[in-house]
Amino acid sequence: MIRLRIVGLPTVLGFVLALGFAGLVSGTAVAEPCCGPITPAGERLTRFLDGSGVDHLWLAKSRVDWSTGEARPGEAPKATHCSAFVGAMTVRLGMYVLRPPEHSQELLANAQLRWLRDSGAASGWRSLPDPVAAQTAANRGDLVLEAFENPNSAKPGHIAIVRPSQQSLETLQREGPRETQAGETNSFNTSTKSGFRHHPGAWVPEGQGGIRYYAHAVDWAKMP
C-alpha cells in the first residue's frame, strides 16, 4: 500500500524561506542596479562600443594608425594604445579630446587627462564627482571617459570609456564602472579594477583612487 505524506503549509513556508536565506548567503540573490536604467541612448552607446573593433584593432606591442587602430607594419612597436582608441571614438561621435596630430601617441593618456581638466569644459566636457555619477551618465548615453595620470610623467597613464551596465552598487564600489578599452588587454566589457590594474593607485575600492571622470553629451539623432 502506498502512503502519501501531506506536508503542512507551515512546513512549506519554512522550506521556501530557508531557500531564500541560503540564496542570500551564497550570493545568488539579485541586487538592485546602482545607477539608473539603461536608456535607449545608453543602448546606442553599447552598440557603438561593441562595433568599435577594439578586440582586433589598437592591439598592444604594435604601431597603429591612431584613427583606425590598424597596424603599421615595419615600424617600431609601441606598448599600448588606450589614448589613440579614445581619440578615435571621439572623432566618430563628433567631439574633440586631445589627440594626434596636436599631440603624439607617446604619453598621450597623461596629456589627455590634463587637457580634460584644464581645457575640456570649452569643448563640452564636464567633470563627474565619482564612479556612481560616471556609470549613471553612461547609462543615459553620454560618452564618459575615465582617466589616470601617472605620477611619474615619464611613464604612461591610462584612459578608457565607461560602458552602460546594470551592476549593483556593491559591485561598483568593489570593481568600478564597466568599461571598454584598448591597453595591455583590449576588451569590450571589463571592470575598471581589471582595466587599470597595471597602474597602482588608479582604482581602489570605494573609488578613492587617482581616476578622474569626464562626460560629454552625444547627439545620437545625428549618428548613422
- Contact indicator for 193, 128 with CB cutoff of 8 Å: no
> Considering only 41-55, 87-101, 115-129, 195-209, which range has the smallest mean pLDDT?
195-209
- Contact indicator for 175, 185 with CB cutoff of 8 Å: no
For the chain, the first-to-last Cα distance in angstroms comes to: 73
State mean pLDDT over 127-143. 98
Q: How confident is the model at residue 4 (pLDDT cuts 50, 70, 90)?
A: very low
- In this predicted model, what pLDDT tens digit does every residue of 43-101 receive, in sequence order? 999 999 999 999 999 999 999 999 999 999 877 777 899 999 999 999 999 999 999 99
Share of the chain above pLDDT 70, in %: 86
Q: Give the C-alpha distances (Å, rounded to integers) separating 169 from 31, 42, 129, 134.
A: 8, 18, 16, 13
Q: How confident is the model at residue 184 (pLDDT cuts 50, 70, 90)?
A: very high
Q: In the predicted model, is pLDDT for residue 16 greater than 50? A: no
Q: How confident is the model at residue 215 (pLDDT cuts 50, 70, 90)?
A: very high
Q: How many residues does the chain have?
A: 224
State mean pLDDT over 96-116. 97
Mean pLDDT of the chain: 88
What gap in Å lies between CA 210 and CA 203, rounded to an integer? 7
Phi and psi (nearest 5°) for 11? -65, -45
Identify which of 7-11, 12-16, 23-27, 156-160 has the greatest average pLDDT. 156-160
Q: In the predicted model, is pLDDT for residue 32 greater than 70? A: yes
Predicted local distance difference test score (pLDDT) of residue 27: 43
Predicted local distance difference test score (pLDDT) of residue 206: 76
Which CATH number describes the domain made up of 36-222?
3.90.1720.10
Predicted local distance difference test score (pLDDT) of residue 30: 61
> Considering only 13-17, 146-150, 151-155, 205-209, which range has the smallest mean pLDDT?
13-17
> Considering only 30-39, 43-52, 86-95, 150-159, which range has the smallest mean pLDDT?
30-39
Cα-based torsion angle of the residue sequence 201, 207, 212, 216 in order, rounded to the nearest 10 degrees: 150
